[in-house]
Amino acid sequence: MNLAIRDIRYHRGRFILTSIGLGLLLGVVMSMGGIYRGLFADALAVLDFTKADIWVVQQDTNGPFAESSRIPEDIKYRIQAVPGVAEASPLSFQTIQVERMDKPFRFFLIGYDLNGIGGPPEIIAGRGIRQKHYEMVVAKAMRMAIGEKIHLGLNDYTVVGITGKVVSSGGDPAAYVSLADAQDIQFKKDNDAIRNDRERIGANLAAIQSLSPSQAKFLKQNIAGITESTHTVNTVVARLEPGANLHEVQERISRWNHFRPISVEEQTKILTKGMIEKARMQLGLFRIILLIISGVIISLIIYTSTLDKIRVIATLKLIGAQNRVIIGMILQQSLLMGILAYGIGYLLILLTYKNFPRRIVLEAFDLQILFVIVIAICMISSFVGIRKALKVEPAEALGG
């Protein structure tokens, strides 16, 4: 006869409620693991979808995901000419926050060369960008409809397609526009600002006595042309030809002034070790604390439950029950509680993880490890109750 099951059957309300409580706690532990994995997935999303072998960024910087990186757009031609490079394409990144439906609306805008790499990985509704201007593809998570317009910089942009789950390393959903549009949004000034700049340049040049009026006019036009140029990008990504040596290509680009070629491996390290390391450690620590709390709670529940059964245990000992009968009763209850709580936690997270504001990635391996840890915690926790039970004297069954 399974005494653990009989006890649970009799006290099922208490057992289920306790397991639900514990299940909620384990659900939080699972969600922490999912957020942890989600941080990785988010951090690497753009890197993975771009499928580039080299990211060329501003010298002495860690690239556009870690800090500000500005390089001229036309460097792509020079990179493309490096032996071993099959394709090079400029990319622009910026985080934008605007008001939409009276709420802050934040997203990560990626500008890409329509004939190059780094565009939307897939189109799940609508179409890709076909015109050079005023069209955009947005991630599904932005919840924008096809045909919807949004005002960015100086112009309105129309959503023509929806892509999947692309996010920035910070977890903001991504939107794609043409590189020219992205540059305009980022750098193009309005007419007042342009006039103001030109006047300032003109006034500065007029102050230089050695310049003739015609020279000053000529210089003013050229300087304005440079300052009003929007042909700056954050990175140029490149794909290598099959069999090309990555290190050789990197070495060659490194020799140029002002540029740093970052491999995917280095970029991954920058994104994971640098940017999300603290969040990862915090989540890891939080998970450990929650698991310790779960262990303490299970121990207390099992210990209290054992105290409630002192007379039952004494009676069982008096009628000659072997220790294994008593140990089995306590251990099985603890394990059943752990398994039920795990199931409840898993169900909870399975039903809700899509509604979390940040990506939750549930990996089978993590869940299996957590299950093993929960079982271990249940076994260790039940030792407290078992120790108490084994100390109970049969004589405690006597008396009124």
Other C-beta atoms closer than 10 Å to the C-beta of 347 total 12
Check residue 129 and give left, alpha or beta (phi > 0: left; psi -120 to 50: alpha).
Answer: beta
C-alpha to C-alpha distance for 127 and 201, rounded to whole angstroms: 44
The half-sphere exposure of 148 on its side-chain side, counting CA atoms within 13 A, is: 12
Q: Binding of other proteins at residue 325 (CB under 8 A)?
A: yes
Q: Binding of other proteins at residue 285 (CB under 8 A)?
A: no
C-alpha to C-alpha distance for 176 and 160, rounded to whole angstroms: 10
Tell me the closest approach of the beta carbon of residue 313 to other proteins, in angstroms: 10
Return the range that interacts with other proteins (CB under 8 A); candidates 7-15, 39-47, 138-146, 273-281.
Answer: 7-15
Tell me the closest approach of the beta carbon of residue 5 to other proteins, in angstroms: 10
- Among 114, 246, 321, 336, contact with other proteins (rule: CB under 8 A): 321
Q: In this structure, are residues 17 and 143 in contact, taking their beta carbons and an 8 Å threshold?
A: no
Return the range that interacts with other proteins (CB under 8 A); candidates 9-17, 60-68, 70-78, 365-373.
Answer: 9-17
Q: Which is nearer to other proteins, 242 or 400 (CB)?
A: 400
Q: Binding of other proteins at residue 312 (CB under 8 A)?
A: yes
Total residues at the site for other proteins (CB under 8 A)? Answer: 25
Q: Binding of other proteins at residue 310 (CB under 8 A)?
A: no
Q: Binding of other proteins at residue 336 (CB under 8 A)?
A: no
Helix ranges (DSSP H) in the chain: 3-10, 12-50, 75-80, 179-187, 191-206, 213-227, 246-254, 264-269, 277-308, 310-318, 323-352, 364-391
- Among 147, 213, 242, 400, contact with other proteins (rule: CB under 8 A): 400
Q: Binding of other proteins at residue 322 (CB under 8 A)?
A: yes
Tell me the closest approach of the beta carbon of residue 399 to other proteins, in angstroms: 7
Q: Binding of other proteins at residue 14 (CB under 8 A)?
A: no
Each residue 169-208 as x (binds other proteins by CB under 8 A) or -, in order, gives ----------------------------------------
C-alpha to C-alpha distance for 91 and 105, rounded to whole angstroms: 23
Q: Binding of other proteins at residue 316 (CB under 8 A)?
A: yes
Q: In this structure, are residues 392 and 313 in contact, taking their beta carbons and an 8 Å threshold?
A: yes
The half-sphere exposure of 296 on its side-chain side, counting CA atoms within 13 A, is: 6
Tell me the closest approach of the beta carbon of residue 398 to other proteins, in angstroms: 5
C-alpha to C-alpha distance for 158 and 162, rounded to whole angstroms: 12
Other C-beta atoms closer than 10 Å to the C-beta of 357 total 7
By residue count, the chain amounts to 400
Each residue 109-148 as x (binds other proteins by CB under 8 A) or -, in order, gives ----------------------------------------
Q: Which of 311, 303, 290, 296 has the alpha carbon at shortest distance from 396?
A: 311
Pairing, β 54-58 against β 235-240: antiparallel
Q: Binding of other proteins at residue 389 (CB under 8 A)?
A: no
- Among 6, 130, 143, 358, contact with other proteins (rule: CB under 8 A): 6
Q: Binding of other proteins at residue 334 (CB under 8 A)?
A: no
- Among 191, 319, 357, 391, contact with other proteins (rule: CB under 8 A): 319
Instruction: List residues binding other proteins (CB under 8 A).
Output: 1, 3, 6-7, 9-11, 311-312, 315-322, 325, 393-395, 397-400
